[in-house]
Structure 1
Amino acid sequence: MYLKSLTLKGFKSFASSTTLKLEPGICAVVGPNGSGKSNVVDALAWVMGEHSAKTLRGGKMEDVIFAGAGDRKPLGRAEVTLTIDNSDGALPIEYTEVSVTRRMFRDGASEYEINGSKARLMDIQELLSDSGIGREMHVIVGQGRLSQILESRPEERRAFIEEAAGVLKHRRRKEKAQRKLVNMQANLDRLHDLTDELHKQLGPLARQADAAQKASTVQATIRETKVQLAAHQVKTLSAELAEASTRAELAAEQVEEIQDALETHSATLTTTEEELRTALEQAEAAKHLWYRLSAVAEKNSATLRIAADRAQQHNVVSWSGPDPEQLLLRAEQAEEEQFDLDEAVEMAAERLESIAEEVAEKEEAARIAEKEHFAQVRAIADRREGVVRLLASHESATKQLESVTAEAQRAGEAVEHLQEALDAVAEELAEATDELKTVESSGAGLAERTERAEKEVYDAETRAEELRAAQLATERAIATAEATIAAWEERLRPSDGAAVAVRAAEAEGVDITALTEHITTTDGWSVALSAVLGEAAVAGLVIDSTDDSSADALLTALHDAAQGRAVVLQPQSTKPWRLDTSPLVGTWLLDHVECSEVAQGPINSLLVDVVAVDSAADARRVVAEDPRLRAVTPTGQVFGAGWAASGHGGSTPVELAEKVAAEKQGVEKKKKQLADQQAALDGALETASDMRTAAATARAADQEYRAGRRAAEQRVAATQKSFDAARNQLERAVANRDQAEQRQKEVEAQVEELADRVSRVDNEDHEQEPSTAGRDAAASQLQQVRAMEMEAKLALRSAQERAESARGKAEALRRQARHEEQARAQHEKAQAARQAARVMAQAVQEQASRVGQRIAEALERADDNRTVTEQSYKQWQSTMSQQKDKVSALSAQLGRLTDNAHSAEVARAQAQVKIEQAVQSALEQLGLTAEQLLAEELPDDFDPTATRSELKKAEKSLNSLGKVNPLALEEFKALEERYNFLAQQLEDVEQARRDLHSVIQEVDDTILALFTDAWQDVEAEFPRVFATLFPGGAGRLVLTDPEDMLTTGIEVEARPPGKKVKRLSLLSGGEKSLTALAMLVAIFRARPSPFYVMDEVEAALDDVNLRRLIALFEELRNDSQLIVITHQKPTMDVANVLYGVTMRGDGVTRVISQRMSPATSS
């Protein structure tokens, strides 16, 4: 058997899941200080059941859970799984591999598992104890454990050997048996008390049973007498009932005959009533028909009058509005006037245009004159340059002009097309921009409303959750309070003695209630009041009777029952008295007590001499001042002259009653609070629902707005892009057109100039200087025509203003003419409708006249029918009156007979009731039915009077016996059976106690044998191990009490070489460590364990001693697995597996492993 693996999850510094694959031999765990090596040892101890936080180097058990480091958050649980190879069957379980898991949560909850199944800590400890692994964990030697071994008491050292010897489970069995023995002794004492108490109760109950037996005999006589009297009464009443039944049956037959006759006449009356009803219906129908025809005649007459009026009203009316043709004529005249004005404007414009042309001609003439003068000057020069070159230039310029002109025309057409496209895109852009503005205006505030709605939903839901949590808390508080009240009320139920008194009071017919229902305290003096009242506070009863005999009866019942004590309080006829003086310190306790009127007298008597003080010192002062007084403190300490009482055995009924009242008030308040919380919760839930609906609506509107806005923005962006592109193209085309036109003008000027030069060259024969007279005359003429142009512009402006003022008149007249034409058309339609209505009214008038004649004929027939039906109705009415008289006479006779029958039936019912009462009385008192009473045989000479006299004598004899417990016989038998049963149980418990003593003795023998064998082996091994670690030294183990091997401790004696000391406290640190190791190794050799864990046990050793210890490790390796936490290189050299433990800046431990080839210690 050896440890196969160890998995840590969230244990201390192992935040991540880490698995150590362990192997047989020596497993060395190395790493820098603080990296988490010792946490591996703690994990092994923890998973094997260690429950001491101090042993695990923590303040509380929750410290084993990873607490967080760096960016790693704290974890909620720690889990360690230890896998053990059980191939050799060392563990008493049918598995070759056993996994033990322990899991702990942050809230303190723990779980244990064995091979994945839930287990208890005890199961794990018992599983491992057979392998020598117990709660002392001697196989795990942690830091500081060596010093603990030497510094521990001798009895504690004994535990290491017991654990290795497997004594732990036997000692646990012994402890369990001892606990049972202690508990059994308590039960045994209780049984002794019960049997003694039952034995005391058997004597009085036997006397009550004897009285009950005598009473039973007398009661049997009384019962027999009562049965005979009851049978006689029932038989007598039965005869009376038979006679009354005969009379009732005869009266019933007479009533039945009259009823038959009455039914016959009633049927005839019913038929007559039906005929009368039919005649009435026919008369009513005829009358109703006559009324309807009269109403129709009136309506027809009214229709006739209305039709005549309508025919008169719908005469044709002539049109009186203005004539549209006259309006159109006036509009034409206005148009002619407008035409004349427009002609004047055109003439003025034409004159201005002709003058402008003349101005242009004069300007052209002046320019030409100037140009001719310049050309004449240039012509002379051109001749000199040569006519041939001038002609060539003119031809070239003409061709260039044709090309430029075509280019300018194409550029102009391109500009027109691009301008049209730009206008279309601009219109589309304007529409898209308007649409975007409309969408933006419609979405103003939607985002804010959505955010506000979502916040309101969150607030409403938060409020609802808070109210729901508060409601649950209130419900839990109410449930807790009601459970507390129920428990307290259960404790307030009458004790045995009080219950006896209550039953006795009920038998005496006296009202009795608990004292706690009559008194309350103020200012927290309930404990003090309970302490002063004493027995009265626990079993106090108040009777509502001043008669001493009632109280005496209750006291007698309490004494006879012998089931406990009770205090009986009764009201006093005299006025309660109080001490006149005030106490030296404090106040009267009565001033802090409120009680009912019934209990005021006895409470006053009980508390009249009691002073309420704040402390024991004040109480002693009060008693010393007046020894007649008693004093009590709020904590229930009572002081008197020469005595004092203290202590508290729990809440008394007085305190409990006040607690119950206060708690019930609290429950009522909480229930009101719960109702308010429920109403608030309903409102909050409704509000939350409304808010969610509003939020959903707002979100939908906001999403719709955002989608519309995105679409509008995309359309605007796309249109704007198209507009920019079209505008750029247009600008480039305009620039190209302007350039082409400019070039065209330049080329045209060049062609004209060259043509003029050519003509000049052709016309000029000789060179002469040009004249300026023509140029000056052209300039003078230009100035004159420009003055005429200004006058024409003024005349045109005046004509345009007159034409504009007259232009709207013709249009207004045309609109008025159209309106009048529409009005005349509507008038003509109305006239046609009037004519149609007049024709219709005349037709209705004719039809109404014909209908009136027919209605008059029908009305006459209806009047005749009405007269006939009324006469028939009167005849049937007379017949029904006669039938009613007959029915009334029979009904009166039936009433008289019914009264007679009713009287007979009442007599029979009375007899029946008397019998039922007698039978019910017999059933309740005697338990006999009517059949049993009628079957009872009475003597022939039975005398009821004499029998009643005998009954009175028997009842008097029964009363002379006094009050008898009717259940005494049964109670005596039950009590006797219970006594015998408890006696048998007592004998069984005594036998069980003897059996437990035997078990404890057997366990002691087993422990003694196991410990003795283990002690002898360890005692023999220790000197050899000590000699190995201390060559030349000597050491031994000594029992502190060899005579008592069950409890003896173990002392360690050690003498290193060259020293004569034996006291362990005088050894050096290294020597102490080696001595402790010697003891542990001796135990290991004597009782090998499957594995051992050493946590830096060689830290204080030098190299020589370290080599010696390693030699022991190598010896132990042959039989056991060693897990060694070390910093020493020699120890690492002999290891079979090396585990490196590291911790980075995140505070999480990580492990790497390396299989080694161990070196020898030599």
Structure 2
Amino acid sequence: MHLKSLTLKGFKSFASATTLKLEPGICAVVGPNGSGKSNVVDALAWVMGEQGAKTLRGGKMEDVIFAGTGDRKPLGRAEVTLTIDNSDGKLPIEYSEVSITRRMFRDGASEYEINGAKARLMDIQELLSDSGIGREMHVIVGQGRLSQILESRPEERRAFIEEAAGVLKHRRRKEKAQRKLVNMQANLDRLHDLTDELHKQLGPLARQAEAAQKASAVQATIRSTRVQLAAHKVKQLSEELNDSTRRSEMLAEQRAELQAELEEHSETLAVTEEELRTALEEAEAAKNLWYRLSAVQEKNSATLRIASDRAEQAQVAEWSGPDPQELLERAERAAEEQAELEENVEIAAEKLETIAEQVAEAEEAARAAEQEHFAQVRAIADRREGVVRLLAQHEAAATQRDNAAAEVERLQDNAAEQQETLDGLLEDITEAEEALRETEASGGDLEETRAQADREAAGAEERAEQLRAEQLQLERDIATAEATIAAWQDRLTPTDGAAVVVRAADKAGIATLRLAEQLHIHDGWGAAAAAVLGDAASSGIVAPLSDALISALIDAREGRAVLLDPSAPEGDASATFRLDTDVSAGKWLLDLMDVPADLLRPLTALLVDVVAVDSAAEARKVVAADPRLRAVTKDGSVYGAGWVASGSGGTTPVELADRIAAETEGVTKKKKELGDLQAALSGALDAASDLRTAAAAARAAEQEHRALRDAAAKRLGALQKQGDAAQRQLERSTAEQQSAEQRLAKATEELDELADRVARVDDEDHTTEPSSAERDAAALHLSQVKAMEMEARLAQRTAEERAQSTRGKAENLRRQARAEEAARKHHQQQQARRAAAREMATCVREQSQRIADRIADALATAEANRSQTEHAHKQWQTTMAQQRDKVSALTAQLGRMNDNAHTAELARTQAQVKIEQAVAGAMEQLGLTAEQLLAEELPEDFDAAATKAELKKAEKALNSLGKVNPLALEEFKALEERYNFLAQQLDDVERARNDLHEVIADVDATILQLFTEAWKDVEVAFPQVFSTLFPGGAGRLVLTDPDDMLTTGIEVEARPPGKKVKRLSLLSGGEKSLTALAMLVAIFKARPSPFYVMDEVEAALDDVNLRRLIALFEELRKDSQLIVITHQKPTMDVANVLYGVTMRGDGVTRVISQRMAPEKTA
């Protein structure tokens, strides 16, 4: 394995593409200081992955790009390609030749390639590390590196041996594993925190789950006892229902006579109302007619004013502006001037072209005169050298002419072959360009399609996430609302006296209902209703007025309760009774409540005197107007005659029931919204999935098209490069051919001249000096025609500038003329419209004046009619008021009669209501119908009191459990599953961490083995190399910590012959260089590398030490390739190939090579 070639393009001083063909053995790079020799070393280090700008002798990495000179512009990129001969297979790649390319651009972007394929820096470093070449670049010994080796720390010297032993890739693997360990530790800590937190939550949740399980068993017992009690109650009420169906037919005859009289007076009132309605319509019609005439009068007046104003304003104005015809004439003159100036420019150009031809002819004549004069001078000099020399020149010229003729013939054949090759490449380039155009055209808007697909997919996913968040929030709201409803329902359970009544009613088989659950209060009036209901709001029970219930309530002494009897007779007028008083300051509270029909009577009795008002002032006003009334505000303040009850006593069952109803309605709506939202989310997820698939397909199509386009562009670029190279080669060949032809012509001419001179040499007795008059005349003529050329150029430039200043002037004037013509036509049309508008306004003004007179007469007539109809309307109003008083008296009497009938009907339907209430309560609480309750078989020894006691005991046990989380069991199972899952994940992460520790241990063992073996070999080789460089001296390498081979450093001990020094700093410059070289060569021998680069390492050595170092070079080149940057001739003598590096005034480095003869390598 060896370096085969190095190609530099735009790297530092190598502005042009330069290739060094390297060969095995010693390759010496020579040249003057500053010519760019060390840039070759920098290029080798850079292409093999060097990342330090200071190592490359720069301030930043972009400094490697050619920065430009006075004659050449800076380049935009630097590129270096290193070709390695891998025929022995030392590199782990299946190629006999490996090409590594590194490319850098001005913007800092870098590219790496291996055999033309894109690669990473890591790929190149790993490829080279297997052959002993690492990122420390120990195989490249640059300027100042030798002193750096000795001055470095022991741990840094260790890195040279590790790199040669191939340890660095294992260290990178270890560092990668250690970074994974650090990242894994963060995840491990997070998992520990999560599992600890879940473990803390499991304990309380387990206790909640146990309580929920106990509560479930108690609730089953409660349901069983409630079912038995409900069945017992329904059967008792069914027996009572049969006794209460005969009580509702007693008052129908008494009501019929009163009803007939009321209907008679109502018919009379209806006739009066019809007459009043007719009078009202006539009055309204007269009033509306008067209003319409007044409005018409106002509109006509406005029309009259507007018409007068428009007639005065529509005046005709004259047009002022430039004349379009004058503008057109100016445009024509400008066009003529422009044409004349353009013609002057053409004349000046033709004159300049003629003078340029004269200049070319004058230059050719001057050159010919100069050559002729020179030929004459040279002929005289030749003649003076003698006849013998003339004859020798004649013979040499003949030989030169023959050689030139042969060269011309060879170059003509070569040019023909190259022209044929170039034609073929041009055809291939044309085909490649057409293929590239077709590929680009076929791409269309793939990029826009892909971008649009990505945007749509992102939008769909964002919409799905938004819907998912809304769904989660809605589910949380529903769960919160249902929990709130359940809590409020628990608070509605009867307590104190109400509970006593419920138990007593259940024992007696009487159906009961909670008053708070039967009412629906309009928005905002719940607190007011609770305040005026008093005990009925918190302890109101709907049940028949049974002495047994009242006695049980008194005997229990557990609190108060209010019983409301629903058994009012049908048609009882008292159910809808209102006090006969004015409540315009507020509303009856009963009108703000939705009450079941069977509760109208008791609630009317409780609240018939209550008026709902908005403020305290209105409340005091209502009470002052009628002391019988009570007034209540929204905040629950109750006002009476001489008293006020106010303040907050907490939330009452009435308010709770109202809140439960509102919250339940809200939950129903939210559940419907949740269903719609779930359907929308499903559709959004499907749409997002489809759009992601479409986006992926668009990206794939775009990538495929990009690959095809890049391949076509790459092929076109390669063909263009080949074509350019072929074109340049052809041009060089053509130039060489022309040069050869010129040499042939010149040789023939010289031969003829020499022959003539040989023939005339005997006849000429003396020579005369040639005249320079003809040459001076030609030079004078040349200077004159060049002056004429300069004047012609100035004249042409002046004409062009004048022509440029007038271009476009004519067209601008024409556009201005057209604009003025259009503006003048528009003004004329506008003046015509103004004249027509003035005539129209005058006509409208005259018509409006005539209409105003007629409207004034009609308005006077309408005023008289309005007064007459209003008087008739007032008379009918008086008559209707009298008849309404009569109907109201009869209605009040019939209302009282209806109240009595309703009382009787309420008594008849009381039993029916009780059983319906009992069945409704059973359906609401137990989900059982009347048929199911009647079919329920009770035990023969059923005791309602004992069963109620059992129920009370179970309820007490349930209450003792406190608030129970019904979802605790499911939450506990879910949390336990998550805890187990995280615990399993924790075990997996810990096992992975242990595996990484094992990997690090294995890597450490490998590093230890490789370093130890390499150290032993280097330790043995160093004294041998040192004794070669320092005959009679002694040197050795020592480990700083032999017990820790993984981190130990390396110290260098050196004692040149005749000296007893212990510190390396006391050595001379040459001794330091040789000691450092001894260490490097010992490493090279212990772990040979395919090649080494030495950059002026022998600069500080004398001839004796230089010969010793060259002897080591001779040993190294047996197994490795050496590239040596040198100024020393002995080093050049042992080289196989010499590379000469030069730099001309343009600041660009050039390289020439010379293969050395084999005998010079000895």
Which TM-score tier does this pair reach, normalised by the shorter chain? 0.3 to 0.5
TM-score (norm 2): 0.40
